[in-house]
Amino acid sequence: MQNYEEIADYAVSLGLKKGFDFVEAYIELSEGASYSIEQGKPSGLAIFKSSGIRIRLISKGSLLTFSTNKLDKKTIEDAFRFKPFNGNKVYLSKEKVEKADYKVSEKIKIEDSYTNLPKDLEELDNFVKKEGVSFRSLYVSTGRSKTYLINSEGTRIRSSLPGVSGFFSIIVGKGKESRQRTIEFGKTGGYELLKIDELEHKLEKEIKALHNVLEKGKSLSNYELSKIKNVVASPEIVGIAVHESIGHPSEADRVFGREAAQAGLSYLNSSNLGTKIGSEKVNIIDDPTIKNSYGFFLYDDEGVKARPKILVKEGIQNELLLNREYAYLTGKRSNASARSDSYSNEPIIRMSNTYLEKGDANIEELFSEAKNGIYIKSFTEWNIDDTRSFARYQGNEAYLIKNGEPSVPIKNYKLDASTFDFWKAVSLLGNDFELYPGNCGKGEPMQGVPVMMGGPSVLLKFG
Amino acid sequence: MDASEILRIVMNEGFDEAVVTTSSYNSTYLKIANYKLDSIVEKKRERGSLFVTKDKKIAFTSIEKLDIESVRQSINNAKKAISAAKPKEDYYGIAEGPFKYKNTVIFDKRIDEMNTDGAAEFANDIISKVNAENLAGTLHLSSSKYSIATSKGVEASSNGTEARLSLRIFDKGLSIQDTLSSRKLSEIKVEKILSNAELLKYVNTTHRINSGLYDLLYLRSPAGVLLSNVNSMACIGNVETGGFLTGKLGKHVANNGISMYDDGSIETGINSSPFDAEGYPTQRTQIIKAGMLIRYLHNYSTAKKYNTRSTGNAGLVYPSPNTLVVEHKKKQSIDKLIASIDKGILITNTWYTRFSNYLTGDFSTMPRDLAIYIKKGSPEFAVKQINVSSGVGIRISDNMIRMMMNITRVGNDIAQATSWDTLGTYYFVPSVIVENVNVSTA
């Protein structure tokens, strides 16, 4: 890594010599492998390696992000031909100068795992095949990203973050009588975190549930669906709701219009910050520091030290997700929310691991308190409008609750709710807790970053 | 090092086949937000890729830099991957060249030579021509040079440029978004987007509507977002793993007037190239003829497996789509299409299209930006969209086959389009009317 660091150091010193107001260089070395099996047939093992530098420059308020994989001085010097343009002026918040060196351990080194991918995925595929699945598509990847960040203020951060991830898509049944389910897996750490037996156990449960819904599931009429007021939502549903209706609208660049033509806007704006969003039981956190989580980091892509952020506190909007630009704009300090998917793209405001804090009730208490309603355990698809005000979660595994007990599976339950109605309906929090991995897309060019989302099971009582 | 040099070194290492590509890519993204040029992102890349096979085992590696050290490292990784991979028993090799290429793509020197100063000036000129309450968008300019060499005699290269302008215009409480894409900078004229923005003037009031069945007039961008799933699902890999065209060969999947093509040969097409990922010449392939699904899309290997011919859609292991083209026997102006609707909605943009089941083709999507309620052929009002104070808006639930069977009229406005929802995918699609669509109010 040392030669690469010299190039980053050179970039920063050159930028200062040329009179730029701010210079930041970020070098990344990535390597990894991926493998997939489609309908029982292997698609080939891919091993990749890449390296590159990103240089961010501010000159009289104009911001340029330059990236290249050609790590020679001549190409780097290209970045510094940049001149200020007529447009937005970017200023950065004052942040502590940080110097840190951190890594996540790997019991099984990523590069030693490449040759395990085919046999491990084949084992999983053979298992899934036996479980009566019509179509299946399995994908696993493993990799490590080593980074070096230095800026003109003296911050210098080194990191080494390995990770494993998987994406499994299954369809049971045929034609109109079929159900589809996609399960994701993701962790920050060595290959030892990919446990095939645990994945087999999870997939077995999911496939059984799909068959159960297909064979025994009933459909409710629109009238019957509209009468349902009490809903027990699982951590998976809570997670997607937290991510889509709290996390995304809390991104300050959305709030202040930078994403208007891409990912969209937010129901939050400069005049309604601090508004009541949910019941006082609702506390929602975004925390990158959770060990081995898929969205893990200790310093963001601007070198700011990470911490948990309380987005919603006792039902009230509390913190936005901020990078240095929007921290300056809002008169605050950055809360380390700047991330990029690679050196190739600009860091923008992103979530990490976003969740609802859990409570004390066990699941039976939630059902008992609901009395009659629906238990929605997983979803097939969802969508939400671009201001994040109204969402639909289409039930995959859902059950009618009758007299305080889950009973018959329901095929066609959809949870449609406005953001404020959903969070105000939170009346009881479970004592269980689960986080689910995902790849969150944002920006143009599109960037997908690893995240997690989740919480406990909750009882929602709609008016 | 160029692709042919690298190939010579690779083929001394005992592989059965190899495909080497090299590319250089320069791009500039200019972000527009809050009516200003917000920031610039500039990228410069030069890299390669290596695909090898041995005894039906397949491996891919990246070539980090086009020098001998990186090439040697890639070869070592490829050997490692081959030794660990399992054979793909239904793999039948790469296309056997050499080939002659009829198709070209446009390379605009003006895009290639534009620096950030020139790009900023171009973007600011665009901004100055828009008169609205607020404006956001992106201007993207890129140029690429790409070469391929294969162990089956292919040696080819192609240079191309791209310009894409996306603008979201906010005015009088409404918004409209449109995107222009071309290989030539001269075709990026903001006036074309502003002419679409004229739709904002059609309506003076905003109301909510009831849930029910409506005829939907999708303008070409949202029409393409939905229909671009067709040539993707026509790729044989997606057929094998379960998609809405699985088992439908020879069956009617669209209205009788509709024909659809997958076309990698359009000179102005952003997704076009003279050759596919194994160097096979790209072509125009009819997928749907008079509503009937007549063909799946193949690369050389899958074509051999199914005893047919490659359609120029490699994808080295599985085929991948090129550009969807939708045609109809009869085309009408947008005004005539609006006049033909008794009870319907004009949709200018969609958002978060999600499939609950790819096998059945069931999906839902949420119109974003301007949607106009049409009654007895006349635009009446803008449909109320969701925001925090109103909490109402509309959601569309449909099925791909049902949708295609109910495309009864199309516009005469076919042009290359894309959307943020499908970035990287371009289509030549006209505006279409789909009858009897289930619309629910949120």
What three-state secondary structure class fits A359?
coil
Inter-chain touch B420–A261, beta carbons under 8 Å: yes
Q: Give the residue-averaged pLDDT of A384-404.
A: 92
Q: Tokens representing A260?
A: 């208007």
Which residues of chain B have a CB within 8 Å of the CB of A169?
Answer: 241
Compute the distance between CA of residue A16 and CA of residue A5 in angstroms, rounded to an integer.
17
**Does the pLDDT of residue B117 top 90, yes or no?**
yes
Compute the distance between CA of residue A352 and CA of residue A338 in angstroms, rounded to an integer.
10
**B46-57 confidence digits (pLDDT tens):** 999 999 999 999
What pLDDT is stored for residue B390 in this prediction? 55
Query: Among residues B128, B126, B137, B112, which one has the least CA distance to residue B29?
Result: B137
Kindly tell me the sign of the dihedral angle through the C-alpha atoms of A31, A439, B45, A77: negative
Compute the distance between CA of residue B343 and CA of residue A453 in angstroms, rounded to an integer.
41
To which H or E segment does residue B231 belong?
helix B220-233
How much of chain B is helix, strand and coil, in % rounded to 5?
Answer: 25, 40, 35
For the purposes of burial, counting CB atoms within 10 Å of the CB of A180, is it exposed (0-12), middle (13-18) or buried (19 or more)?
Answer: buried
Give how far the C-alpha of residue A35 lies from the chain's centroid of Cα atoms, to the nearest Å. Answer: 22
Q: Give the residue-averaged pLDDT of A291-316.
A: 98
pTM value?
0.95
What pLDDT is stored for residue B206 in this prediction? 87
Instruction: Report A:351-370 residues touching B (Cβ under 8 A).
Output: none
For the purposes of burial, counting CB atoms within 10 Å of the CB of A436, is it exposed (0-12), middle (13-18) or buried (19 or more)?
Answer: buried
Which residues of chain A have a CB within 8 Å of the CB of B82?
Answer: 45
Q: CB of A34 within 8 A of CB of A155?
A: no
What three-state secondary structure class fits A403?
coil
Most confident of A134-143, B173-182, B411-420: A134-143
Q: Give the residue-averaged pLDDT of B56-71.
A: 95
Q: Is A21 on the interface with B (CB under 8 A)?
A: no
A419-435 in b/e form (b: 16+ CB < 10 A) is bbebbbbbbbbbebbbb
HSE-up (13 A, CA, CB side) for residue B50: 35
Give the confidence band of B387 by pLDDT, cuts at 50, 70, 90.
low
What pLDDT is stored for residue B392 in this prediction? 57
Phi first, then psi: what are they for A368, rounded to 5°? Answer: -65, -45
Angle between helices A117-130 and A196-216 (to 10 degrees): 30
Inter-chain touch A69–B65, beta carbons under 8 Å: yes
B194: left (phi over 0), alpha (psi -120 to 50) or beta: alpha
What lies within 8 Å, CB to CB, of A168 at 6+ separation is A124, A128, A136, A137, A138, A139, A182, A183, A184, A185, A199, A203
Compute the distance between CA of residue A152 and CA of residue A144 in angstroms, rounded to an integer.
27
Q: Tokens representing A89?
A: 């002026």
**A96-114 confidence digits (pLDDT tens):** 999 999 999 999 999 899 9
What pLDDT is stored for residue A1 in this prediction? 67
What lies within 8 Å, CB to CB, of B367 at 6+ separation is B222, B345, B347, B348, B349, B350, B351, B383, B385, B393, B394, B396
Q: Give the residue-averaged pLDDT of A356-380.
A: 97
Query: What type of residue sits at position B206?
Result: T
Write out the DSSP string of B69-99: HHHHHHHHHHHHHHHHSPP-TT---------
What lies within 8 Å, CB to CB, of B111 at 6+ separation is B141, B142, B143, B161, B162, B163, B184, B185
When mean pLDDT is compared across A177-181, B22-26, B61-65, the lowest value belongs to: A177-181
Compute the distance between CA of residue A207 and CA of residue A220 in angstroms, rounded to an integer.
23
Instruction: Report B:254-293 residues touching A (Cβ under 8 A).
Output: none
**In A306-365, where do the E strands start and end?**
309-313, 316-317, 338-339, 348-349, 353-356
For the purposes of burial, counting CB atoms within 10 Å of the CB of B11, is it exposed (0-12), middle (13-18) or buried (19 or more)?
Answer: middle
Q: For tokens 């009831």, what's the residue?
A: B210
In angstroms, what separates the C-alpha of B35 from chain A's closest C-alpha? 9
Report the percentage of chain A scoring pLDDT > 70: 100
**A62-97 confidence digits (pLDDT tens):** 999 999 999 999 999 988 999 999 999 999 999 999
Q: Is B118 on the interface with A (CB under 8 A)?
A: no
Identify the bridge partners of residue B374 per DSSP, sorted by sequence position: B344, B379
Q: For tokens 């979660």, what's the residue?
A: A393
Q: Give the residue-averaged pLDDT of A39-60.
A: 95
**Does the pLDDT of residue A2 top 80, yes or no?**
no
Compute the distance between CA of residue B50 and CA of residue B73 in angstroms, rounded to an integer.
11
Cα Rg of chain A (Å, integer): 24
Compute the distance between CA of residue B301 and CA of residue B236 in angstroms, rounded to an integer.
11
- Ordered alpha helix ranges (H), B11-148: 68-84, 109-112, 116-128
More confident residue, A3 or A31: A31
Q: CB of A162 within 8 A of CB of A110?
A: yes
Instruction: Report A:108-137 residues touching B (Cβ under 8 A).
Output: 114-119, 122, 134-137
Inter-chain touch A260–B237, beta carbons under 8 Å: no
Which residues of chain B have a CB within 8 Å of the CB of A380?
Answer: 356-357
Report the percentage of chain B scoring pLDDT > 70: 98
| Mean residue pLDDT across chain A | 95
Which residues of chain B have a CB within 8 Å of the CB of A117?
Answer: 84
Q: Give the residue-averaged pLDDT of B362-381.
A: 92
Length of chain B, please?
442
Q: Is A41 on the interface with B (CB under 8 A)?
A: yes
More confident residue, A6 or B197: A6
Compute the distance between CA of residue B363 and CA of residue B351 in angstroms, rounded to an integer.
12
**Does the pLDDT of residue A229 top 60, yes or no?**
yes
Neighbours of A271 (CB within 10 A): 6
Which residues of chain B have a CB within 8 Å of the CB of A346?
Answer: 39, 41
What pLDDT is stored for residue A174 in this prediction? 87
Neighbours of A115 (CB within 10 A): 16
In angstroms, what separates the C-alpha of B30 from chain A's closest C-alpha? 10
Length of chain A, please?
463
Compute the distance between CA of residue B416 and CA of residue B426 in angstroms, rounded to an integer.
7
**Does the pLDDT of residue B243 top 70, yes or no?**
yes
**Does the pLDDT of residue A397 top 90, yes or no?**
yes
What pLDDT is stored for residue A78 in this prediction? 87
Compute the distance between CA of residue B263 and CA of residue B266 in angstroms, rounded to an integer.
7
When mean pLDDT is compared across A30-39, A43-52, A366-375, B203-212, the lowest value belongs to: B203-212
What lies within 8 Å, CB to CB, of B147 at 6+ separation is B2, B3, B21, B22, B23, B156, B157
HSE-up (13 A, CA, CB side) for residue A80: 21
Which residues of chain A have a CB within 8 Å of the CB of B241?
Answer: 38-39, 135-137, 169
Write out the DSSP string of A228-270: --EEEE-HHHHHHHHIIIIIGGGBHHHHTTTTTTTT---S--T
Give the confidence band of B386 by pLDDT, cuts at 50, 70, 90.
low
Instruction: Report A:190-209 residues touching B (Cβ under 8 A).
Output: none
Identify the bridge partners of residue B139 per DSSP, sorted by sequence position: B30, B165
In angstroms, what separates the C-alpha of A69 from chain B's closest C-alpha? 6
Give the confidence band of B389 by pLDDT, cuts at 50, 70, 90.
low
**B294-333 confidence digits (pLDDT tens):** 999 999 999 999 999 999 999 999 999 999 999 998 999 9
**Does the pLDDT of residue B442 top 80, yes or no?**
no
**A412-461 confidence digits (pLDDT tens):** 999 999 999 999 999 999 999 999 999 999 998 889 999 999 999 999 99
Q: Tokens representing A435?
A: 């986080």
